[in-house]
Structure 1
């Protein structure tokens, strides 16, 4: 995983890939809002939305320590971090993802938008 130039998202996905992904709850601002667009492929998808409670619900339904996020391209601009990456399972491609985080002056995530699909590979 790349740690620069998107240190917040790099840490976010490092936590998500660990045995304790709930650590991301310590990274969010009081006014946090998120949307995760999650495609399983073949036109099947789900959206996870909300504030802290929405993130807690998303974390509760995820598989732990099975996927690895790889950030392939990242940029930081004016309090926003944006990445394009891929997830792998046992070293094999699973899905592409993009993520955008708005980060406040204290380094907390205020807004988070993630989209993933197994249908498109940038490799």
Structure 2
């Protein structure tokens, strides 16, 4: 395994910045996503959709608060897959998995992200 997952590394770099809307330039015309977002203790939300769904997801996020760390990743054909964690002020907040399917130009066609504070992977 590796952490050399260039598209997802750029995606989460943008998400951690003051301008996360830059991810909108990374998606294909037929983009579809689902973000399963657990706050812990069984409380969760799902954000789904196409470009408009991603815009709605971006609008409700805190900006420049969380930092995504990719711990392991793999590129398999047109797919990038990662396991990582988010931190807030340097402290663990949640673990996440992300899978992106890329089109022939390298744009993100499909994105599935799941996160939970209930499971931390040993480092």
TM-score between the two structures when normalised by the length of structure 1: 0.97
Alpha-carbon distance change, 4 to 95 in structure 1, aligned in 2, over 3 angstroms:
closer
CA separation in 2, counterparts of 1:58 and 1:37?
11
Tell me what 2:70 maps to.
71
SS at 2:59's partner residue?
helix
**Displacement after TM superposition at 1:14 (Å):** 0.1
Question: Hey, what's the Cα distance between the residues in 2 that align with 1:97 and 1:45?
Answer: 14
Deviation at 1:105, TM superposition (A): 1.2
Q: Secondary structure at the residue paired with 1:24?
A: helix
Question: 1:116 — aligned with what?
Answer: 115
Aligned to 1:51: 50
> 5+ unaligned residues in a row in structure 2: which ranges?
none
CA drift at 1:4 = 4.5
Q: CA deviation at 1:76?
A: 0.2
Alignment partner of 1:37 is 2:45: no
Q: Which residue of 2 aligns with 1:27?
A: 26
Q: CA deviation at 1:78?
A: 1.0
Residues in 2 aligned to 1:4 and 1:122: alpha-carbon distance in whole angstroms: 16
> Superposition pairs for residues 10-21 of structure 1, below 5 Å?
10-21=9-20
**What residue number does 1:99 align with?**
98
Q: Which runs of 4+ in 1 moved over 6 A?
A: none
Tell me how many residue pairs correspond in the alignment. 121
Query: What is the DSSP-based 3-state SS (H/G/I as helix, E as strand, rest coil) of the residue aligned with 1:30?
Result: strand
Q: Does 2:79 match 1:84? A: no
TM-score, length-normalised on structure 2?
Answer: 0.97
- Mapped to 1, the partners of 2:64 and 2:80 lie a distance apart of 24
